[in-house]
Amino acid sequence: MRQRHPAAFHTPWRGRLAYVAATSAIVGLAAFAMVRLDFSPGRVLGGLGRLAEFSLMMLPPTPGGRFWEFLHALGETLAIAFLGTLTAAAMAFPMAFLAAKNVVPNVIVHFTVRRGLDVFRSVDVLIWALIWINVVGLGPFAGALAIACSDFGAFGKLFSEAVETVDRKAAEGVAASGGSNMHRIRFGIVPAVLPVLGSQILYFFESNTRSATIIGIVGAGGIGQYLTELIRVLELQQVAFLVLMILVTVAAIDAVSSRLRRALIGDQAR
């Protein structure tokens, strides 16, 4: 094979030089970051004993007589994730068509919409939580708004990309039969992208369950508030119980959402 197709096995010296330069740059940047961030393997190894001590203090996990309080807080976390995800998807759905090039040919319109979505997407959910806490006060409402704002930008980007990659034959058929632009979108594009959008929404709901836990630490409601309080007072057995509750909940949501995602896109995958 090498004799018959020598070009396929020959790497130009420029390509090799570029590969070596890129690898060296990455290694050098990693080394520089370690030095600047005072990264020390010795400190990590030295802290393993302290980590083992903390792990032993977390055994056995116990609710400490507060099981129903924790369960209510966990339900609040799920409600924050669900409401935030649903609100973000509902807001992003119409914006996705404005950001899609195959729906809106006007460059200014879809460029402006996409940059606006980037603004929402570039701000982390924890920052949104701090903003909304100062606007509407502490509690789960601020948490739901934070997730909605953060996911609005992400959903808008993903939804618009799904619209742009849809098969155009159905939309062209609707237009050829005399349908308007709205008919083309409603009957030619929306049915084709709905399974993909539904799969993305389910995945984000699963991810936002963990995000809702994190933003609860800054006062946005949910089980995160209990976590931060118990960690500060070193009630590590109750912390371990909360972590187990979160793990079981996320595993259950993952199992259910995976089956739903397969049901939504299974026909297309085959």
* Inside any domain, residue 87: yes
Q: How confident is the model at residue 269 (pLDDT cuts 50, 70, 90)?
A: very low
* Inside any domain, residue 220: yes
Farthest-apart Cα atoms in the chain, separation? 76
* Inside any domain, residue 242: yes
* CATH code of the domain covering residue 264: 1.10.3720.10
Where helices occur in 58-139 by DSSP H, the ranges are 67-99, 107-122, 125-136
Tally of domains in the chain: 2
Instruction: Give the whole-angstrom CA distance, residue 204 versus residue 126.
Output: 16
* Inside any domain, residue 1: no
Instruction: Give the whole-angstrom CA distance, residue 186 versus residue 191.
Output: 7
Element (DSSP H or E) covering residue 218: none
Query: In terms of domains, do 26 and 131 share one?
Result: no
* Inside any domain, residue 91: yes
Query: In terms of domains, do 84 and 42 share one?
Result: no
Query: In terms of domains, do 122 and 219 share one?
Result: yes
- Residue-wise pLDDT for 96-137, tens only, equals 878 777 777 777 877 888 888 888 888 888 888 888 888 888
Q: Which domain holds residue 20?
A: 6-57
DSSP 119-147: HHHHS-HHHHHHHHHHHH-SSHHHHHHHH
For residue 270, the model assigns a pLDDT of: 43
Element (DSSP H or E) covering residue 269: helix 236-269
Query: In terms of domains, do 108 and 163 share one?
Result: yes
Query: In terms of domains, do 42 and 143 share one?
Result: no
Query: In terms of domains, do 48 and 161 share one?
Result: no
Query: In terms of domains, do 48 and 71 share one?
Result: no
Where helices occur in 165-235 by DSSP H, the ranges are 169-176, 181-183, 190-215, 223-232
* Inside any domain, residue 86: yes
Element (DSSP H or E) covering residue 222: none
Query: In terms of domains, do 125 and 159 share one?
Result: yes
In the chain, pLDDT over 70 holds for what percent of residues?
83
> Average pLDDT over the chain, rounded to whole?
78
Query: In terms of domains, do 53 and 73 share one?
Result: no
For residue 254, the model assigns a pLDDT of: 80
Res. 70: pLDDT tops 60: yes
Buried b (16+ CB within 10 A) or exposed e, 81-98: bbbbbbbbbebbbebbbb
* Inside any domain, residue 62: no
* Inside any domain, residue 156: yes
**pTM given for the model:** 0.74
Query: In terms of domains, do 52 and 71 share one?
Result: no
- Residue-wise pLDDT for 167-198, tens only, equals 666 555 655 666 666 656 665 666 677 777 88
Query: In terms of domains, do 24 and 76 share one?
Result: no
Query: In terms of domains, do 13 and 139 share one?
Result: no
Residue 244 neighbours by CB distance under 10 Å: 13
